[in-house]
A and B are shown apart, each in its own frame.
Chain A
């Protein structure tokens, strides 16, 4: 395939992916808006008033960035794991495998589909948050770049999960037992300065902490960790997962006999 044909194949897969999650918008776009609304009402409006301030900001303002990024993480991960495993399970992935589309194009297209859903869900949740908080923006560049990089990283995570999954149960194990605890303990709801020293050190091993703090920096201009380290961590994990995904797809792990 020449580069133009590869671009056409890429656009075809991305269009298909976006069409898929828009077709089932009740399952893909509405639930994050509702769950985040509940977080805002319960943790922000009701409990948040009693908490007062966190790192010098109203608790609601402190909470918003973390909740937006949490929805981006979940949406991008769920999009790729659901779509890729569904295609594998229903064998429609063979449509792609028998075609001359290079593996790297398939990988990039699935990532782009995950990023598209992550970004759209992020926008929707940001819209919901405007009912509860007057958002201030410290750095649009940081906000935009962190959303995209985080969505890329978790799209890759979803793809890895889908490659290894053999049943639908396998698809839900990682989000439930890995992603959820890491997100909840990743500084979405609190500053790690509230933790004892030991647990602060433990938290530093959580990659989601770096993303949430970098994203919060984009809104509020504060972060528990260095922005440079955050970018470095995210890019490092993206590189690792990209190489691993490419390797597994090229080896046809779980796809070919």
Chain B
């Protein structure tokens, strides 16, 4: 298999003694849409920082499209486009200047840079804003500007560090569509996000980092298959005083009109409904307690995404 990214025993200890990465082995195939997840402070941004040279690794190896960053980092970096978590453009420049200049830093001549900048600013709906000061753009447009900037030199590997943080659902969905398009066109994408529905919807493979170690690295399908139990929340028509004995083994009463019921993957809902009917419990509505991936994530790292220990 050809890999876009491979890390071997990647480690990082910061000057203050904090060990952010403890020998991470990561492999992302060419053309993949890969989710790199983990709670805050798990080490995701450190991995990304090392890949794009903003963080110096302590030990280990990194290969980007087969190029070892210790041997030819400039060439390895030419394959990369990075959308960082925080806005990091000059707020006094215009989107056109920012995107065109970025192309120049990759050695793309001015005319081609202008053509490329126009292409990506139009694709991301920023062309009408091209002459405005970047600092005056809304949060959603700023995020899109960073994606346009990362793509202007048409990288083979695009790294997105929480690209949809703080943007409304409409813009987020349009960004998902855009990312799917460029992935279909052959760009490998690594995505970190706290929106697990985003990862589940977009990504084919997934790695989960916790406390500097990779605790899971598999396909999304395989991971989701590991979820043996799903929890449903039932809103009842009439209040209950006690959970019936037939349901006690898998049911928890949140309040007199709300039950949480854990159902095995092998079980079926008809059986559950039969037991509820037998106990004369009428259900007004039902919903999943958590997103499937979120449930797995909590199982693996012991906390919800976005929380830190």
Is A200's beta carbon under 8 Å from chain B? no
Q: A6-B107, A8-B109, A12-B101 are in contact. Are A95 and B78 (CB under 8 A)?
A: no
**For window 22-55 of chain B, which residues contact chain A by CB distance below 8 Å?**
49, 52-55
Verify A95–B89 contact, CB threshold 8 A: yes
Q: Report the number of A-B residue pairs with Cβ-Cβ less than 8 Å.
A: 87
Q: Is A92 an interface residue (CB 8 A)?
A: yes
> Which B residues are in CB contact (< 8 Å) with A100?
73-75, 77-78, 105-107
Flag if B74 contacts A102 (CB, 8 Å).
yes
Those of B50-77 within 8 Å (CB) of chain A: 52-56, 73-75, 77
Which residues of chain A in 79-104 are interfacial with respect to chain B, using CB atoms and an 8 Å cutoff?
86-87, 90-92, 94-102
Q: Quick check: B88 and A90 within 8 Å, CB to CB?
A: yes
B241 shortest CB reach to chain A, Å: 58
Q: Contacting B104 at CB < 8 Å: which of A8, A19, A94?
A: A8
Contact B105 A12 (CB under 8 A): yes
Interface string of B82-106 (1 = CB under 8 A from A): 1010111111100001100110111
> How many residues on chain A are close to B (CB under 8 Å)?
31
Chain B residues lying within 8 Å of A87, measured Cβ to Cβ, are 90
Chain A hits for B80, CB < 8 A: 98
Min distance, Cβ B58 to any Cβ of chain A, angstroms: 11
Smallest CB separation, B212 vs chain A (Å): 14
Chain A min CB distance to B131 (Å): 13
Q: How far is the CA of A102 from the CA of B102 in the complex (A)?
A: 14
Interface residue from B82, B87, B107 paired with A98 (Cβ < 8 Å): B82
Indicate if B14 sits at the interface (CB-CB under 8 A). Answer: yes
Q: Closest residue of chain B to A19, judged by CB?
A: B97
- B10: shortest Cβ distance to chain A, in Å? 14
Most chain B C-beta atoms within 10 Å of own C-beta, residue among A2, A92, A100, A257: A100
Question: Binary interface profile of A, 9-30, with partner B (CB < 8 Å = 1, else 0)?
Answer: 1011100100110010000000
Given contacts A90-B91, A257-B14, contact A97 B54 (CB under 8 A): yes
Q: How far is the CA of A19 from the CA of B53 in the complex (A)?
A: 27
A212 to B107, CA, bound (A): 39
B203 to chain A, nearest CB (A): 23
Q: Does A4 contact B (CB under 8 A)?
A: yes
Which A residues touch B110, using CB under 8 A?
8, 12
Residues of A within 8 A of B97 (CB): 16, 19
Residue of A1, A8, A87, A90 contacting most chain B CB atoms (<10 Å): A8
> Do residues A94 and B55 form an inter-chain contact, with CB atoms below 8 A?
no
> Are the C-beta atoms of A95 and B107 separated by less than 8 Å?
no
Q: How far is the CB of A122 from chain B (nearest CB, A)?
A: 25
Chain B residue nearest to A23 in the complex (CB): B92
